[in-house]
Amino acid sequence: MNTLEKLAKLVRYYILTSTTEAGSGHPSSSLSAVELMVTLMFRGFFSYDISQVDYPNNDRLIFSKGHASPLFYSLWTAAGALTEEELLSYRKFGSRLEGHPTPALPYVEAATGSLGQGLSIGVGMALNAKSIDKLPYRTFVLLGDSEMAEGSQWEAMQIAAHYKLNNLIGILDVNRLGQTGETMYGHDLSAYEKRIASFGWKTWVIENGHNMSHIASAYEQALAVTGAPVMIIAKTIKGKGVSFIENKNGWHGKALSKIECENALKELGEVDRSITGRFAKPQSCKSIEYILKIRLKDNGYGNEPIATRKAYGQALVRIFPKHPEMVVLDGEVSNSTYAEIFKETYPDRYFEMYIAEQNMIGTALGLSRRGKIPFVSSFAAFLTRANDQIRMCQYSEANIKFCGSHAGVSIGQDGPSQMGLEDIAMFRSIRNSVVLYPSDAVSTDKLVEEAANYKGLVYIRTTRSATPIIYPASETFPIGKCKVVRESKNDFVTVVAAGITLHEALKSYEDIKKDGIFIRVIDLYSIKPIDIETLKSAAQQTKAIVVVEDHYPEGGIAEAVRSALAGSKTPIYSLAVDNIPKSGTPDELLQFENISKDAINKTVKQLRQENI
């Protein structure tokens, strides 16, 4: 038995013992890919300096089929990176070895477990190597056959081919069985081959995915390909190596009992636990250094109204010299989001992602995990398309800036399908997210810079129509603060607004002033984190809070304010989008939804009448 065979046996031993110890997990899905992965990692195809996890030239390995985590952890144990003791902590509270991989363990490139996302992450890492850092490292992605049903896979597939990512290698583990039964194509390798080839990938089919010399020869050829990404498509047996679960339905996501495990280990025979798998040495490289040109020009906004979406594009250009890790992605609407302003100035750092938002976010995650700061834009409405990918970003310690343009009914004639009305709710619900909503070009400019400086997930909501400049160029906009833009000692109530509604609030201020009523107006440009202190003062000093937002009521700004003011006895009223939105002019729609200056006037006057 050669070393590779011994390693495969050892990895099987680890898979079985760790899952049975945990009492749950996915041994059968892990066993099918043992030879594919052992050959990749320990026969010289995978270059990795195990002493320097962050070494820029380390190859990258992503388990898109994240449920095969027992295999992943077993491989790194066989490589000496994890102890057998730690392996047995799998799935236990506090362990780095979670049910599905997360970067709690440094060998994990990104959290997976929501299927069909790993290839997009791989696209980001491969794009980084090929087009940004210009490094020779390769990105390998282990894919399950079930997850090929996810559309996001085909988004990744087309973009990888479009950008000719020949440093991206997919390994498709066709073990025939999904969670509940046979996949759509079972063991028909040609079904996968023709689809994948039609998308512009080079394909290699391995009829026996447990034959390590066949596998090795596929890798040899795959790594020599130029000009296209490569998919290795291997026929495997789910549960391989344990006769009583091999190729059997009903064994998905099920650990063997102690007795079953003993029997399986007997079948496996003697295991050499003294051997260690070795990686190839990565090519040496100097550390990546970006040339800073930190003299930032000033966008110098005058008095002309300008759309915040346009200021977004201009801000990207302005701050790039100070943030050379920036990369800008857009979903084929860059002339609407104004990411095109950046594209025109720094074409090498702009990547067109076409109308495929899920892959766009996955790619951004891959770029982020390789040290970039991706700014990703589309219509706010269409970012909901990638909600699951955005959700997964929060478990990958990602550093991504999302920009959603065309927020709210104020976009006008295009109608509800194009209106972002749930985006604040979506982004607020992401753990540790930052949600920003500028109202003029100056605040947009500053907030884009704040976003770049902040490490984490930041959402910036922009508006379609031009809005007046309300801030001087010297104003600062720290994350977590807000601006009190109108204030007096006699303020009756406080109107909290952001983005388009701030301008309505300011108009309302002027209107109501004529009746001798003063309102405090707060620009809540940072919706999350939220400026609790300033809101509390307003709640203490005025009789009510009226929140006006171009968003549905649930999960939006009013609820954020209510949570911030929990415990306060000041009543909080919400003016939000509550009629079925439709086409019309922006003004007609603000009016229709009761979020215009007239609606604010009416609400405030009514509160005055009620003598609250």
Structure tokens at 316: 């990207």
End-to-end CA distance of the chain: 86
Phi (first) and psi of residue 607, to 5 degrees? -60, -35
CB 250 within 8 A of CB 244: no
When the beta carbons of 181 and 478 are compared against a second copy, the nearer one is 181
Q: Which is nearer to a second copy, 22 or 500 (CB)?
A: 22
Cβ closest to a second copy, residue 560 vs residue 604: 560
Minimum distance from CB of 188 to a second copy (Å)? 11
CB of 486 to a second copy, least distance (A): 23
**Which stretch of DSSP H or E encloses residue 509?**
helix 500-513
Asked whether 315 and 482 are in contact (CB, 8 A), the reply is no
Pair 40, 219: CB distance under 8 Å: yes
Tokens of 187: 């063991």
Compute the least distance from the CB of residue 593 to a second copy, in Å: 11
Contact 328, 351 (CB under 8 A): yes
Of the listed 35, 357, 450, 559, which one is catalytic? Answer: 357
Q: Output 505 or 558, the one with its CB closest to a second copy.
A: 558
| Residue 235, C-beta contacts closer than 8 angstroms, at least 6 positions apart | 174, 187, 189, 205, 206, 207, 208, 209
Q: Residue 278 has which token pair?
A: 């070795």
CA dihedral 192, 193, 197, 203 (to 10 degrees): 120
Task: Please identify, using beta-carbon distances, which residue of 493 and 589 lies nearer to a second copy.
Answer: 589
Rounded Cα gap, residues 597 and 595, in angstroms: 7
Interacting residues of 435 by C-beta distance below 8 A, sequence separation 6+:
424, 427, 428, 458, 459, 461, 526, 527, 528
Q: How far is the CB of 572 from a second copy (least distance, A)?
A: 6
Looking at the Cβ atoms of 13 and 592, the one nearer to a second copy is 592
560 within 8 A of 538, measured Cβ to Cβ: no
Q: Which residue, among 117, 128, 109, has the nearest Cα to 367 in the 3D structure?
A: 128
Measured CA to CA, the distance from residue 479 to residue 497 in angstroms comes to 16
Nearer to a second copy, 358 or 467 (CB): 358
DSSP-assigned beta bridge partners for residue 521: 486, 495
Quick check: is 340 catalytic?
no
CA distances from 541 to 212, 520, 565, 579 (A): 74, 10, 13, 32
CA distance 599 to 591: 7
The phi and psi torsions of 286 (rounded to 5 degrees) equal -80, 160
We find the least distance from the C-beta atom of residue 192 to a second copy, in angstroms, to be: 10
Q: How far is the CB of 552 from a second copy (least distance, A)?
A: 5
Q: Residue 453: in which H helix or E strand, if any?
A: helix 441-453
22 or 316, CB closer to a second copy?
22
Q: Rounded to whole angstroms, how far apart are CA atoms 76 and 58? A: 15
- Which pair of structure tokens corresponds to residue 360? 């766009």
Residue closer to a second copy by CB (options 184, 292) is: 184
- CB atoms < 10 A from the CB of 510, how many? 10
Which residues are bridge partners to 326 per DSSP?
A: 373
- Angstrom CA distances, 456 to 91, 327, 404, stand at 26, 15, 17
Query: C-alpha distances in angstroms, 352 versus 305, 331, 333, 570?
Result: 29, 7, 9, 48
Nearer to a second copy, 322 or 543 (CB): 543
Between CA 429 and CA 481, with CA 334 as vertex, the angle to 5 degrees is 40
Q: Which residues are catalytic?
A: 357
